[in-house]
């Protein structure tokens, strides 16, 4: 082996070692969704909380909000995939103007693990943003 090949080989071994170490560090802090989260979409929402519970790779939720003074409640369950959750919700206490639609929430956990951001899509096709902050 000539000197250039040895230097190139050493470079790739070091690069690979650092890459593996970086990946290992990222995997040592698993995503956790358990607990109480505050719904922080906008000022029309008050007393808005989501409670998440993990069971294996499943997620369960109870979500209460007051939108312009009207109560709304939904429950649901779904799956956890790395730093994301997808779950279907059943509306228990609807807001009449919104209709009775159940739906699906798609959320991703922020790097600091304190914010969930994503979207909802109702079974009727309405969609919009969702933002939760860890309490």
Angle at 104 between CA 99 and CA 106, to 5 degrees: 135
Token representation of residue 38:
């505050």
Taking residues 86-115, report their average pLDDT: 95
User: CB neighbours of 1 closer than 8 A, spacing ≥ 6?
Assistant: 9
* Mean of all residue pLDDT scores within the chain: 86
pLDDT at residue number 4 = 55
- Residue 122's pLDDT band (boundaries 50, 70, 90)? very high
* Structure confidence by residue, pLDDT tens digits, 12-67: 454 555 555 555 555 556 789 999 999 887 788 899 999 999 999 999 999 999 99
CA distance linking residue 41 with residue 44, whole number of Å: 8
- Residue 10's pLDDT band (boundaries 50, 70, 90)? very low
Closest CA to 132 of 59, 62, 36: 36
> Full-prediction pTM beyond 0.85?
no
């Amino acid at each position: 082996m000539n000197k250039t090949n040895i230097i190139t080989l050493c470079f790739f071994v070091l690069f690979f070692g650092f890459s593996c170490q970086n990946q290992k560090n990222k995997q040592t802090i698993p995503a956790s969704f358990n607990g109480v989260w505050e719904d922080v979409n906008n000022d029309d929402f008050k007393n808005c909380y989501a409670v998440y519970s993990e069971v294996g790779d499943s997620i369960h939720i109870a979500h209460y909000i007051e939108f312009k003074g009207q109560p709304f409640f939904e429950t649901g369950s779904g799956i956890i995939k790395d730093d994301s959750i997808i779950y279907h919700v059943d509306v228990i206490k609807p807001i009449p103007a919104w209709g009775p639609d159940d739906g699906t929430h798609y959320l991703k956990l922020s790097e600091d693990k304190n914010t969930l951001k994503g979207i909802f899509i109702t079974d009727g096709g309405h969609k919009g943003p969702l933002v939760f902050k860890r309490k």
